């Protein structure tokens, strides 16, 4: 895993996995600043949102992507609202065809990949324990006694859900965690036609967790 930028004014850019998956992580900026810096197409993409937070979330990740790529990137949206690249994105001679986006209250994570991918970012302080029975089976719970397992398992299942790109999947029944290796920051799972998916666990700071698919 390689961190390419640690500037406070620019998002962190991290590469990992054999295919050179690219992960972009940054803080959600104030909406007023975002609207001043946004391109016309980026502003058009948030016209339907009346919520301050929804507008700020989308404009933040669109701005981060533009800064890393060096130009505005054309984005389409699926019937489920998931972002799709309208064109191939080239960064440092790597060609990316797929995108996945996640946000929590204060940060955004964007993954670019050559294959279908998924990413999730969460705040570590969120109460995952309270709802763990809704998404973790007893067998999965037995994989680890780590205090952060419930949070990491949620992130991993969110990432798998996004990678599968299928509506109606049940987190407890249809998406499975098969192994976890905290020493090497890896977690493994399966969903749909993807029998064995390796995922990277990342800790951008003391307050957040990110999980991204590696395939």
Residue-wise pLDDT for 153-165, tens only, equals 999 999 999 999 8
Kindly tell me if the per-residue pLDDT of 7 is higher than 50.
no
Domain with CATH 3.90.470 in the chain: 2-115
Taking the model in full, what pTM does it have?
A: 0.91
For 165-194, how does the pLDDT look when each residue is reduced to its tens digit (9 = 90+)?
A: 888 999 999 999 999 999 999 999 999 888
- Nearest CA among 132, 131, 104, 106 for reference residue 120: 104
Instruction: Locate 194 and state its tokens.
Output: 């993807």
For 60-97, how does the pLDDT look when each residue is reduced to its tens digit (9 = 90+)?
A: 999 999 999 999 999 999 988 899 999 999 998 899 99
Gap between the Cα atoms of 48 and 86, Å rounded = 20
- What CATH class is the domain 2-115? alpha beta
């Amino acid at each position: 895993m390689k961190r390419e930028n640690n500037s406070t004014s620019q998002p962190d850019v991290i590469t990992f996995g054999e295919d050179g998956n690219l992960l972009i992580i940054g803080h959600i900026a104030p909406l007023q600043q975002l609207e001043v810096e946004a391109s016309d197409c980026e502003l058009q993409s948030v016209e339907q949102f009346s919520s301050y937070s929804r507008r700020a979330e989308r404009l933040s990740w669109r701005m981060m992507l533009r800064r890393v790529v060096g130009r505005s990137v054309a984005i389409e949206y699926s019937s489920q609202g998931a972002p799709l690249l309208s064109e191939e994105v080239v960064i440092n001679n790597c060609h990316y065809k797929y995108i996945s986006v996640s946000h929590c209250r204060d940060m955004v994570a964007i993954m670019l990949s050559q294959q279908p991918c998924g990413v999730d970012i969460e705040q570590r302080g969120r109460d995952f324990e309270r709802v763990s029975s809704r998404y973790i089976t007893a067998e999965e719970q037995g994989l680890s006694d780590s205090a952060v397992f419930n949070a990491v398992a949620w992130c991993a299942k969110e990432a798998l859900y996004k990678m599968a790109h299928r509506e109606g999947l049940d987190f407890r029944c249809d998406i499975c965690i098969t192994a976890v290796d905290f020493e090497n920051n890896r977690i493994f799972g399966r969903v749909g036609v993807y029998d064995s998916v390796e995922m990277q666990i990342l800790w951008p700071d003391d307050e957040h967790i990110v999980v991204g698919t590696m395939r």
